[in-house]
């Protein structure tokens, strides 16, 4: 046994190192540069030009309603933005929307994934039904929810409330944020389910059996074995969803148009209303820059957290 | 510690299709029992039924005389080592080994002590803080065993635990498991398809095929007295030679002569009378029992020589058309494509009837005394004439 240990403790070979400058590999890379440059340059223009233009406009006096207002604005656009109470509300709304939808889809998706991993009658059909909302385009699903589901008179919720002898609720007027959260969660739950279901199915079944022999009941099996196994997939779901949820727009535009008041105005909708309702290009660009910064802050923490996770 | 009994145990996944077709078996305390058989013979299913991972369709499973058919797997007092090890990848080695104790509500200090003790036995002390991913195959194997040891089970179950190791490590771990069996003095049930593992480790081998027990016995008993063609072909390496023969003559005491396809006659000695002359039988001869003899009955031309260093295997085609493998010394200068003759001692022959059942052989083949079970006083060897 000890002989084997010695073999196992031997220093391993160093991993492949980057080629030293001037080596064959380096020269080869330099020779390949002209070949890859068209795509690299195109991608650079693709991402840099809009960024630079947004930055440029955010320091300009630029209003589409008044062509006489021109020139360098300094930080006036930003000053105007951060002193606007609408901005802070929209920031909070953005975070509430992202956070709530993430919580609902990750928790619901995990539970559904474990459920759909069990054998039951009609599993194939149920799986298709559960996943299909993801294929409905955001405007359509917003319309479905606005007119067919949550409408106090024609909606199914209204009928149900009626049947229970209750006063139907005007969801979009009384609980606008919750209504938007429900719609967006309905759209993104299938995504979480899809990713997490494949992860659950990749769990080595003998681990569950070993846990059973170790005396774990179903709940302990879930928390000690299944959930840690899903950790990486959950991180991926959170990262991808966050990127998309920060820019939710169509659902809000179709259902509440940011209202009532500013109750459902998130950052994306605020920028839209600045640029295309108030025609203040400079102010909207300043909002856009804030959105970029916000997205980068979130991305920074996410990538760090997930980088650690992926190490397992 | 524990005895285990199976009484008419059956398993069927669908009505009318039985995987395990009624097994009766008694396993003594501290015994090392090996279930062996080809793929799909039901050996793993049987083990999983004992573990409680599969339901028992019919029959009784008794542990220490208690019927445990409907007892939860974790309450049966068993621990299992899986073929894939089934280590929890997100837990450290120590957490892996202590998981069962943690679930049982054992205090942290007691848990640590038990984990350390198991780690000491398995030489895993310096790896306790590592994750399974950072371990080699052999170390993972030991962690899986450690996880079983920590629970101090009545019975250990092993499901082909060595099949993922390379040949060298497999041999080493085999010895290691035997040492562990001595040290823990526990009842162990071990599933394998490798007859070498079965021969080297078992106190008792259970040969399974198609969901039924073909034979139960000590390794040497199975080697020397296989009950039928299947066991004879399965136990022993290289495989036993089977040759169709007819009875030429025989006396009532078991001595007789059988004729090969080419008419050459082989003297045999059985423990029971041979059937009437002319009866077709199958002659079984182990390759290692054949020796060169210029007057031997097995005449044929070698077409292949395998030199394994310590021994030589010559594949012959007999003049009657049958194939025969002869095992001789490693330095045997024998060459292929030369006519050779070999012979076998009459009491080394096996004969099988048309139904595949073996004729009883003379029962005085020298057998080593049964290995004393761990924990018992060593048997003092007595000189026998």
Listed by start position, the domains of chain B span 4-233, 238-352
The Cα-based distances of B150 to B3, B118, B143, B162 in angstroms read 20, 6, 10, 20
User: Do residues B295 and B287 lie in contact, with contact meaning Cβ atoms separated by under 8 Å?
Assistant: no
Among A1, A204, A213, whose Cβ lies nearest the Cβ of B78?
A213
Superfamily in which the B238-352 domain is placed by CATH: Nucleic acid-binding proteins (2.40.50.140)
B169 contacts A210? CB cut-off 8 A: no
What is the CATH number assigned to the segment(s) B4-233?
A: 3.40.50.300
User: Do residues A99 and A242 lie in contact, with contact meaning Cβ atoms separated by under 8 Å?
Assistant: no
| Amino acid A306: pLDDT | 74
What residues of B are in contact with residue A220 (Cβ under 8 Å)?
103
What residues of A are in contact with residue B53 (Cβ under 8 Å)?
209, 212-213
A231 contacts B147? CB cut-off 8 A: no
Taking the C-alpha atoms of residue B247 and residue B349, their distance in angstroms, rounded to an integer, is 13
Interface residue of B54, B103, B147 to substitute, partner A, most A CBs within 10 Å:
B103
A211 contacts B131? CB cut-off 8 A: no
Taking the C-alpha atoms of residue A234 and residue B244, their distance in angstroms, rounded to an integer, is 65
> Does domain A76-310 match CATH 3.40.50.10310?
no
Whether the CB of B104 is below 8 Å from some CB of chain A: the reply is: yes
| Amino acid B373: pLDDT | 61
A213 contacts B80? CB cut-off 8 A: yes
| Amino acid B380: pLDDT | 52
What residues of A are in contact with residue B120 (Cβ under 8 Å)?
none
| Amino acid B376: pLDDT | 58
Q: What is the pLDDT along chain A (312 residues), one digit of tens a residue?
A: 333 334 344 444 444 445 555 567 788 888 888 898 999 899 989 988 989 998 988 888 888 888 887 888 788 888 888 888 888 899 899 999 999 999 999 999 999 999 998 888 888 898 889 888 888 899 999 999 988 888 888 888 888 888 888 888 888 888 889 999 999 999 999 999 999 999 999 998 889 999 988 888 889 999 999 999 998 889 889 888 988 898 889 889 988 888 788 888 888 898 898 888 888 888 888 888 888 888 888 888 888 877 776 654
Taking the C-alpha atoms of residue B164 and residue B51, their distance in angstroms, rounded to an integer, is 21
Q: Which residue of A has its CA nearest to B159?
A: A206
CA dihedral A205, A210, A214, A215 (to 10 degrees): 30
Q: Which residues of A sit within 8 Å Cβ distance of B?
A: 1-2, 4-5, 8, 204, 206-207, 209-216, 220, 224-225, 228-229, 231, 312
What distance in Å separates residue A4's CA from the closest CA in chain B? Answer: 8
Q: Which residue of B has its CA nearest to A8?
A: B136
What distance in Å separates residue B98's CA from the closest CA in chain A? Answer: 10
A312 contacts B172? CB cut-off 8 A: no
Among B52, B104, B139, whose Cβ lies nearest the Cβ of A8?
B139
Which residues, at least 6 apart from B364, have a Cβ–Cβ distance to it below 8 Å?
A: none
Q: Which of B128, B44, B116 is nearest to B80 (CA)?
A: B44
Which residues, at least 6 apart from A45, have a Cβ–Cβ distance to it below 8 Å?
A: none
Interface residue of B68, B71, B80 to substitute, partner A, most A CBs within 10 Å:
B80
What distance in Å separates residue B370's CA from the closest CA in chain A? Answer: 27
Taking the C-alpha atoms of residue A9 and residue B5, their distance in angstroms, rounded to an integer, is 44
| Amino acid A296: pLDDT | 87
Among B74, B86, B172, whose Cβ lies nearest the Cβ of A4?
B172
Indicate the domain borders of chain A: 76-310
Whether the CB of B179 is below 8 Å from some CB of chain A: the reply is: no
Residue A230 in tokens: 């899903």
Among B86, B131, B138, whose Cβ lies nearest the Cβ of A210?
B86
Q: What is the CA radius of gyration of chain B?
A: 24
Question: What are φ and ψ of residue B51, in 5° steps?
Answer: -70, -25
Q: Which residue of B has its CA nearest to A215?
A: B74
User: Do residues B185 and B196 lie in contact, with contact meaning Cβ atoms separated by under 8 Å?
Assistant: no
| Amino acid A21: pLDDT | 56
User: Do residues A179 and A256 lie in contact, with contact meaning Cβ atoms separated by under 8 Å?
Assistant: yes
Q: Coil, helix or strand for B206?
A: strand
pTM: 0.77
| Amino acid A223: pLDDT | 92
What distance in Å separates residue A20's CA from the closest CA in chain B? Answer: 30
A206 contacts B138? CB cut-off 8 A: no
B104 contacts A215? CB cut-off 8 A: yes
Taking the C-alpha atoms of residue A218 and residue A206, their distance in angstroms, rounded to an integer, is 15
User: Do residues B11 and B63 lie in contact, with contact meaning Cβ atoms separated by under 8 Å?
Assistant: no
| Amino acid A151: pLDDT | 85
Interface residue of A210, A228, A312 to substitute, partner B, most B CBs within 10 Å:
A210
| Amino acid A287: pLDDT | 87
Whether the CB of B100 is below 8 Å from some CB of chain A: the reply is: yes
What residues of B are in contact with residue A213 (Cβ under 8 Å)?
51-53, 73-74, 78-80, 100
Interface residue of A206, A213, A220, A228 to substitute, partner B, most B CBs within 10 Å:
A213
Among B78, B131, B136, whose Cβ lies nearest the Cβ of A8?
B136
What distance in Å separates residue B79's CA from the closest CA in chain A? Answer: 7
Blockwise average pLDDT, block size 10, chain B, 385 residues: 85 83 89 90 89 89 89 88 89 90 89 90 87 88 89 89 84 87 88 89 91 90 91 90 91 87 89 88 93 91 90 91 91 88 91 89 58 56 47
Among A8, A213, A312, whose Cβ lies nearest the Cβ of B73?
A213
Among A4, A209, A215, whose Cβ lies nearest the Cβ of B53?
A209
């Amino acid at each position: 046994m000890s002989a084997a240990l010695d073999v196992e403790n031997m220093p391993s070979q160093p991993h492949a190192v980057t080629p030293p400058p001037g080596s064959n590999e380096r020269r080869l890379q330099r020779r390949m540069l002209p070949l890859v440059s068209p795509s690299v340059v195109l991608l650079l223009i693709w991402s840099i030009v809009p960024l630079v233009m947004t930055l440029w406009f955010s320091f300009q006096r630029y209003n589409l309603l008044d062509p006489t207002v021109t020139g360098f604005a300094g930080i006036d656009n930003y000053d105007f933005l951060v002193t606007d109470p609408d901005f802070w509300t929209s920031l909070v709304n953005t975070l509430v929307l992202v956070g709530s939808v993430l919580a609902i889809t990750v928790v619901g998706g995990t539970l559904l994934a474990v459920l759909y991993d069990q054998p039951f009658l009609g599993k194939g059909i149920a799986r298709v039904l559960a996943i299909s909302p993801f294929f409905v385009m955001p405007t359509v699903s917003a319309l479905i929810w606005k007119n067919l589901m949550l409408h106090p008179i024609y909606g199914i919720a209204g009928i149900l409330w009626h049947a229970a002898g209750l006063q139907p609720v005007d969801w979009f007027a009384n609980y606008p944020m919750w209504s938007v959260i429900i719609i967006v969660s309905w759209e993104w739950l299938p995504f979480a389910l899809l990713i997490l279901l494949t992860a659950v199915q990749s769990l080595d079944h003998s681990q569950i059996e070993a846990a059973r022999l170790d005396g774990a009941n179903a709940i302990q099996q879930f928390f000690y074995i299944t959930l840690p196994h899903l950790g990486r997939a959950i991180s991926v779901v959170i990262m991808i969803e966050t990127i998309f949820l920060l820019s939710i727009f169509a659902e809000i535009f179709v259902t509440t148009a940011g209202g009532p008041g500013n109750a459902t105005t998130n950052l994306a909708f605020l920028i839209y209303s600045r640029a295309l309702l108030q025609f203040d290009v400079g102010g909207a660009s300043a909002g856009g820059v804030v959105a970029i910064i916000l997205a980068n802050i979130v991305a920074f923490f996410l990538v760090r957290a997930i980088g650690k996770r992926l190490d397992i | 510690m524990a005895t285990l009994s199976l009484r008419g145990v059956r398993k069927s996944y669908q009505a009318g299709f039985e995987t395990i077709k009624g097994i009766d078996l008694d396993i003594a305390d501290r015994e090392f029992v090996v279930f062996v058989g080809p793929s799909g013979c039901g050996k793993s299913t049987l083990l999983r039924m004992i573990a409680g991972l599969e339901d028992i369709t019919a029959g009784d499973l008794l542990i220490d005389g208690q019927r445990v058919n409907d007892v939860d797997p974790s309450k049966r007092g068993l621990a299992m080592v899986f073929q894939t090890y089934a280590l929890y990848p997100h837990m450290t080695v120590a957490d892996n080994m202590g998981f069962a104790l943690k679930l049982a509500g054992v205090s942290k200090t007691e848990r640590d002590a038990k984990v350390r003790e198991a780690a000491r036995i398995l030489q895993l002390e310096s790896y306790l803080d590592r994750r399974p991913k950072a371990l080699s195959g052999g170390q993972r194997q030991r962690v899986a065993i450690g996880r079983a040891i920590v629970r101090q089970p009545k019975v250990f179950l092993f499901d082909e635990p060595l099949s993922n190791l390379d040949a060298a490590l497999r041999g080493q771990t085999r010895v290691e498991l035997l040492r562990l069996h001595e040290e823990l003095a526990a009842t162990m049930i071990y599933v394998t398809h490798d007859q070498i593992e079965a021969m080297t480790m078992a106190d008792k081998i259970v040969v399974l095929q198609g969901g039924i027990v073909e034979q139960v016995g000590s390794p040497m008993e199975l080697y020397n007295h296989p009950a039928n063609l299947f066991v004879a072909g399965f136990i022993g390496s290289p495989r036993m030679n089977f040759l169709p023969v007819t009875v030429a003559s025989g006396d009532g005491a078991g001595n007789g002569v059988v004729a090969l396809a080419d008419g050459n006659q082989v003297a045999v000695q059985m423990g029971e009378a041979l059937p009437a002359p002319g009866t077709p039988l199958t002659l079984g001869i182990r390759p290692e029992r054949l020796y060169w003899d210029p007057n031997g009955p097995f005449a044929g031309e070698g077409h292949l020589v395998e030199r394994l260093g310590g021994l030589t295997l010559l594949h012959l085609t007999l003049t009657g058309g049958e194939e025969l493998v002869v095992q001789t010394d490693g330095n045997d200068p024998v060459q292929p494509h030369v006519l050779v003759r070999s012979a076998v001692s009459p009491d080394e022959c096996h004969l099988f009837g048309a139904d595949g059942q073996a004729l009883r052989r003379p029962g005085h083949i020298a057998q080593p005394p049964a290995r004393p079970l761990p924990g018992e006083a060593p048997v003092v060897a007595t000189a026998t004439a």
